[in-house]
Amino acid sequence: MDFIDLRSDTVTWPTEKMRRAMAEARVGDDVFGDDPTVLDLEARASKRFGKEAAVFVPSGTMGNVLAILGQCGRGERVIMGDRTHTFGSEGGNPATVGSVQAWPAPVQPDGTIRVADLRAGISPTDDYHFPLAKLISIENTQAGVGGQPVPLEYIREVRALCREHDLRLHIDGARIFNAAAALGVDARALTADADTLMFCLSKGLCAPIGSLVVGTAAFADRARRIRKSLGGGMRQAGIIAAAGIIALEEMTERLHEDHANARALAEGLCRTRFFDVDLPRVRTNMFFSAISPDAPLTAAELTERLRAEGILVWHRGNGFRFVTHYWITPDHIEQVLGRIQYHLS
């Protein structure tokens, strides 16, 4: 059965052009640093964001932990949002891998963190009781509150705070190109104030595997050492980097289509009477919605009925998360809305 999969944009599979590129990719040994396709991808990534160097990694989780461990030492602190992927969905990596304390600050509905709350995590440098803060990490888009794009003006406020206290800034930009598309700015502008950036090739960009972390040449050298210790050194990685080049150069330019499909889905759900969607907050390819208590089916029951018809959705409790991507078309949106309306009528 061919599924219509709205659970995540990580479910995308490679395009035919990617498959051909992967089959024909020139490869070497990336641990030796001589895989030409990986080197090409890393050069394109660093140039795209105006940074000195980039490191290709298997996952966004690994990219984030390289950024944190590459800029914080044992017993030091990274300040991050309490609803960020780095804090809640990466296995407690800063602490478990690097003995780095994560200080959680409340994420606001618009995806930002109040500067005052970030400042609260900056411990006095003259008091030995507290870990020294070294890094602030923010997420863009902020998935924990429905894929909200974090604007450039806010990022500059955080940068100013970092400069005031001699801290570094990391951006978990797993979906940074979605943020750029939603805000109508270039992704490079959104990340110019960051010391390091991680972005994913496999979330909505259709590459099967891989993320990149970018920063200074000195940081990249340290990141490669940490990557090796975590088992992230790959060999003929050019096979997957070939798909990553297409993701970076081509797939980033069409994300507005996914955003339009998410909006159409959200508007259609509102018409069913049993879903309440905050439409002004549907700004990218992701949104949350809860099914009404007076609906004839629970979220779990509706999920199972849709699955039986080849439609995959993700729910927790009585709430849903819907995510659109390259393999979701306007026709799919109409089909999904029709089946939901049928089951709830």
pLDDT in tens, 181-227: 999 999 999 999 999 999 999 999 999 999 999 999 999 999 999 99
Whole-number pLDDT of residue 268: 97
Total-model pTM: 0.96
Classify domain 254-344 by CATH architecture: Alpha-Beta Complex (3.90)
Q: Which part of the chain is CATH 3.40.640.10? A: 14-252
Distance, CA of 237 to CA of 259 (rounded, Å): 31
% of residues, the chain, pLDDT over 90: 98
pLDDT in tens, 281-340: 999 999 999 999 999 999 999 999 999 999 999 999 999 999 999 999 999 999 999 999
pLDDT in tens, 244-253: 999 999 999 9
H/E run at residue 275? strand 275-276
Pairing of strands 286-291, 311-312: unpaired
% of residues, the chain, pLDDT over 70: 100
Which pair of tokens denotes residue 334?
Answer: 């109409």
Provide the greatest CA pair distance for the chain: 65
Cβ 80 vs Cβ 103: under 8 Å:
yes
Distance, CA of 121 to CA of 123 (rounded, Å): 6
pLDDT in tens, 81-114: 999 999 999 999 999 999 999 999 999 999 999 9
Fold of the domain spanning 14-252:
Aspartate Aminotransferase; domain 2 (3.40.640)
Cβ 37 vs Cβ 26: under 8 Å:
yes
Which pair of tokens denotes residue 157?
Answer: 């406020």
Q: Which part of the chain is CATH 3.90.1150.10? A: 254-344
Confidence of residue 166 (pLDDT cuts 50, 70, 90): very high
Whole-number pLDDT of residue 2: 83
User: Cis peptide before 86, with omega less than 30 degrees from 0?
Assistant: no
Distance, CA of 175 to CA of 10 (rounded, Å): 11
